[in-house]
Amino acid sequence: MSIGLPYKEVLLLSQDLKKRFSILVAEDDDGHFVLIEKNLQKMGFRSRILRFSNGQQILDFLYMRGDGPKRQPDDVYLMILDIRMPKVDGDEVLEIVKADDQLKDIPVIMLTTSNDENLMDKCQKLGCKAYVVKPMQYCDFEGAVQEVGLSLLLSVLEMSAIDKPDDKDVKRWL
């Protein structure tokens, strides 16, 4: 799958962040998480990746509750959510996050096995940046994670925490 974006240049620009960012991954399947982490690293992401195995854990992190790790209010986060998870589903997490004034600007990408069009519409209306369906075949999973990675990079560029490229950088990409 070719998306036609200047991927390597976008990744280089994302490394010029004023602030570091962390990637939050809510995924209950151990194998899927390993594939996500491995492929994001393969794409060049050097950000800290935090894994949560259910929706309640990521909510506890975001709202700084419980005994686990807690969100640092001044840090920058990007989020990848599975939809079908124990305790709290990913679409519920998305709805809670996007309704909260302190959290609503966190870019959220849905990565799920569900290709239900109603659920896709719901997530997009709630404000997810991208909705990516996990393929059933292992060999196709890398392409799906690359799509997630590109969405993450574009989200990083949209965040105000980075410097804008100057004209010579933009011309170099064209």
- What percent of the chain has a predicted confidence (pLDDT) above 90? 42
In a domain, 174, yes or no: no
Region 148-159 average pLDDT? 62
Express each pLDDT in 17-30 by its tens digit: 445 688 999 999 99
Domain interval for residue 144 = 17-167
In a domain, 138, yes or no: yes
pLDDT above 60: residue 4: no
pLDDT above 90: residue 55: yes
In a domain, 94, yes or no: yes
Region 33-45 average pLDDT? 82
pLDDT category of residue 167 using cuts at 50, 70 and 90: very low
Express each pLDDT in 74-116 by its tens digit: 888 989 999 999 999 999 999 999 999 999 999 998 988 888 9
Total tally of structural domains belonging to the chain:
1
In a domain, 29, yes or no: yes
Residue 20, CA distances (Å) to 37, 47, 52, 69 in order? 18, 7, 20, 17
Those residues with Cβ within 8 angstroms of residue 86's Cβ, 6 or more apart along the chain or in another chain: 28, 53, 54, 55, 56
In a domain, 78, yes or no: yes
pLDDT above 80: residue 62: yes
95 burial level (CB within 10 Å; 0-12, 13-18, 19+) = middle
Q: What is the pTM (predicted TM-score) of this model? A: 0.75
Q: What is the DSSP letter of 147?
A: H
More confident residue, 110 or 170: 110
pLDDT above 50: residue 16: no
Could you give the count of Cα atoms lying within 13 Å of 18 in the half-sphere of its Cβ? Answer: 8
Is residue 58 within 8 Å of residue 26, measured between CB atoms?
yes
In 15-166, which ranges are continuous DSSP H helix? 30-42, 55-62, 90-98, 117-126, 138-158
- Residue 3 confidence (pLDDT): 36
The helix/strand/coil state of 146 is helix
In a domain, 4, yes or no: no
Residue 162 belongs to domain with CATH number: 3.40.50.2300
